[in-house]
Amino acid sequence: MLIERAPKLYRNLYRGSHWRFNTDKKVVYLTFDDGPIPEITPWVLDLLDKYAIKATFFCVGDNVRKHPEIYQMVQDRGHLVGNHTFHHLQGLNSSTESYLEDVQQAGELIKSELFRPPHGHMRLPQFSALKKRYKVIMWDVVTRDYSRLKTADQVFEIVKKYTRNGSIIVFHDSIKSGDRMKESLPQSIEWLLEQGYSFRQIGE
């Protein structure tokens, strides 16, 4: 649970960021990290179209640079985008100056007020600077679809166990999530719909 849903103490370190939206309505916010890439992202977009779901994609700037047509496809399909740094930097392993420069480099390509830190970690000075310029979006449910230690069924069980009203749910449109995501995402969407959840974009 310390991974799938961050404990309250950890959330309090980043006060002012968004981990979950407070609501008594059965709504969830589906998000994707680490794309866009041609091997995965178009498949995700087609699946979301099938269910008429709009999501939020936190994009790595270097992937946007390499695949601008896929990045444009995300927006043309009506989805929101957010900044996920240029090089997918881990904030705790980076100086504040270099981290902010990397975010700025990504921001030159990704025109968005939304930011999500890779791995969910930042030094507090990094967070303090970024929250002045961005709406920092964390998560309520990390599916762990990226983990080779998880099966697709286990990823699906994480969604079932931890999702609640207002949850921000994270999948990954990346090579590392691969077949686990392609199997668990449709299962998760079907289950969420069966449970009466509707899908919203960040900011709705």
Active site residues: 33, 172
The residues that bridge with 58 in the sheet, in sequence order, are 33, 82
Residue 69 lies in a domain: yes
Provide the domain count of the chain: 1
Percent of the chain scoring above 70 in pLDDT = 99
Residue 3 lies in a domain: no
Instruction: Report whether pLDDT(93) > 90.
Output: yes
**What is the structure's pLDDT at 203?**
80
* Among candidate residues 203, 184, 182, the one with its CA nearest the CA of residue 27: 203
Q: With a threshold of 0.75, does the pTM exceed it?
A: yes
Which residues span the domain enclosing 94? 8-200
**What is the structure's pLDDT at 204?**
66
Residue 2 lies in a domain: no
Residue 148 lies in a domain: yes
CA 23-162-183 angle, 5° bins: 115
Report d(CA 69, CA 88) in Å as an integer. 20
135-169 residues labelled b (16+ CB within 10 A) or e (exposed): bbbbbbbbbbbbeeebebeebbbbbeebbeebbbb
Residue 85 lies in a domain: yes
Residue 1 lies in a domain: no
Residue 79 lies in a domain: yes
Residue type present at position 42: P
**What is the structure's pLDDT at 2?**
61
Q: pLDDT-derived band of residue 187, with 50, 70 and 90 as boundaries?
A: very high
